[in-house]
């Protein structure tokens, strides 16, 4: 009995040590490679607005910390505003043509840019860097193109919503659109990895829900109940935290295809919000 019992405890202890070792390895991987779980940049520009029949201007502009960023300015005649597009964490500006043409049809000129490390933008991607890059894009529109702040609508999808909300907090744009965005990195990470102490481990914040509280312009929050990456509850919490005036547009479909799947209803929701902005709410 004692020999058998000793063998059992030896096996249990050995198993626990293996589990503990794996757990420690997971923690180390999270600590060392966090940015690889968040940022998925692509350098290759696979298409341009010209391929969907739109005139555009290739733009290079400088950040305060000396990085040269790349973007496109897509004009429209008699614009209802200028949309400053903060894209998500993957790909680059050339993967957003479906949105660019939609905004064009809605009567908006669009300025979309790549964060440092994406597309042809120089530098290494960081959270602080994305905020600095968005500020540089804002400064380009206001200082170089002489576009009044009250004609600029800031748009952010997914991670771009966190960047957009931070930018809108620091300025007074015409409006802010936050689409398919998380409340914060610690919040979404804790849901994806409930078995890890990610709130302690994470070096990233992207606190959309905190930024949105201090935004002083009309806000539209867009989210899908079918979102397979960022749960619908995140969108609702962001909406509830925002100051009035604000609107919520519920769409359908997955995280990356919701705006396409929803189609006319998505377009109508954006158009309604833009019209209300133009009528000074």
pLDDT digits (tens, 9 = 90+) for 23-34: 666 666 666 668
Mean pLDDT of 103-124: 98
Which has the closest alpha carbon to 46: 119, 114, 112, 115?
119
The dihedral built from the CA positions of residue 186, 120, 176 and 89, taken in this order, carries a sign that is negative
Look at residue 42 and tell me whether its pLDDT is greater than 80.
Answer: yes
Residue-wise pLDDT tens digits, 43-74:
999 999 999 999 999 999 999 999 999 999 99
CA dihedral 86, 41, 28, 25 (to 10 degrees): 120
Look at residue 185 and tell me whether its pLDDT is greater than 70.
Answer: yes
pLDDT value, residue 281: 65
pLDDT value, residue 37: 81
- What is the Cα Rg of the chain in Å? 22
Look at residue 262 and tell me whether its pLDDT is greater than 80.
Answer: yes
pLDDT band at 3 (very low <50, low <70, confident <90, very high): low
Q: Report the CATH number of the 42-278 domain.
A: 3.40.50.1820
Find the helix packing angle between 159-170 and 127-139, rounded to 10°: 50
In whole angstroms, give the CA distance from residue 74 to residue 87: 15
- Is there a contact between 173 and 150 (Cβ–Cβ < 8 Å)? yes
Mean pLDDT of 139-151: 98
Mean pLDDT of 262-267: 96
Mean pLDDT of 136-160: 98
pTM score, whole prediction = 0.91
Mean pLDDT of 169-191: 97
pLDDT value, residue 9: 73
In whole angstroms, give the CA distance from residue 63 to residue 108: 25
In whole angstroms, give the CA distance from residue 96 to residue 94: 6
pLDDT band at 36 (very low <50, low <70, confident <90, very high): confident
pLDDT value, residue 5: 56
How do the domains of the chain map onto residue ranges?
Answer: 1-32, 42-278
Which has the closest alpha carbon to 58: 136, 125, 129, 113?
113
Residue-wise pLDDT tens digits, 192-221:
888 778 788 888 999 999 999 999 999 999
Find the helix packing angle between 97-105 and 264-278, rounded to 10°: 50
pLDDT value, residue 17: 75
In whole angstroms, give the CA distance from residue 273 to residue 257: 21
pLDDT value, residue 193: 80
Residue-wise pLDDT tens digits, 229-246:
999 999 999 999 999 999
Give the three-state DSSP class for 65. Answer: coil
SS3 content of the chain, % helix, strand, coil (to 5): 45, 20, 35
pLDDT band at 80 (very low <50, low <70, confident <90, very high): very high
Mean pLDDT of 154-161: 98
Give the three-state DSSP class for 119. Answer: coil
Torsion angles phi and psi, residue 280, rounded to 5: 60, 30
pLDDT value, residue 200: 84
Mean pLDDT of 7-25: 71
Q: Where are the alpha helices (DSSP H) in 95-231?
A: 97-105, 127-139, 159-170, 185-192, 198-201, 208-212
DSSP-assigned letter for residue 149: G
DSSP-assigned letter for residue 78: S
Look at residue 152 and tell me whether its pLDDT is greater than 80.
Answer: yes
């Amino acid at each position: 009995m004692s020999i058998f019992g000793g063998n059992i405890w030896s096996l249990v202890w050995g198993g626990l040590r293996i589990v503990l070792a794996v757990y420690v390895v997971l923690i180390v991987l999270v600590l060392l490679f966090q940015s690889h779980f968040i940022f998925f940049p692509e350098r290759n520009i696979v298409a341009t607005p010209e391929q969907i029949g739109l005139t555009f201007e290739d733009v290079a502009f400088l950040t305060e910390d000396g990085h040269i960023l790349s973007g496109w300015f897509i004009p429209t005649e008699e614009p209802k505003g200028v949309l400053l597009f903060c894209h998500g964490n993957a790909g680059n500006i050339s993967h957003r043509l479906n949105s660019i043409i939609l905004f064009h049809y809605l009567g908006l000129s669009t300025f979309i840019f790549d964060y440092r490390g994406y597309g042809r933008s120089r530098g290494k991607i960081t959270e602080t860097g994305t905020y600095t890059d968005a500020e540089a894009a804002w400064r380009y529109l206001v200082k170089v193109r002489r576009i009044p702040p009250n004609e600029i609508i800031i748009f952010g999808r997914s991670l771009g919503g966190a960047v957009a909300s931070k930018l809108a907090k620091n300025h007074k744009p015409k409006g802010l659109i936050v689409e398919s965005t998380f409340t914060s990195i610690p919040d979404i990470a804790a849901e994806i990895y409930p078995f890890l102490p990610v709130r302690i481990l994470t070096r990233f914040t992207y606190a959309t829900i905190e930024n949105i509280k201090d935004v002083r312009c009309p806000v539209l929050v867009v989210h899908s109940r079918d979102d397979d990456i960022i749960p619908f509850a995140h969108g609702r919490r962001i909406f509830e935290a925002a100051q009035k005036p604000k609107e919520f547009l519920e769409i359908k479909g997955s995280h990356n295809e919701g705006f396409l799947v929803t189609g006319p209803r998505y377009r109508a929701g954006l158009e309604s919000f833009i019209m209300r902005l133009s009528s000074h709410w």
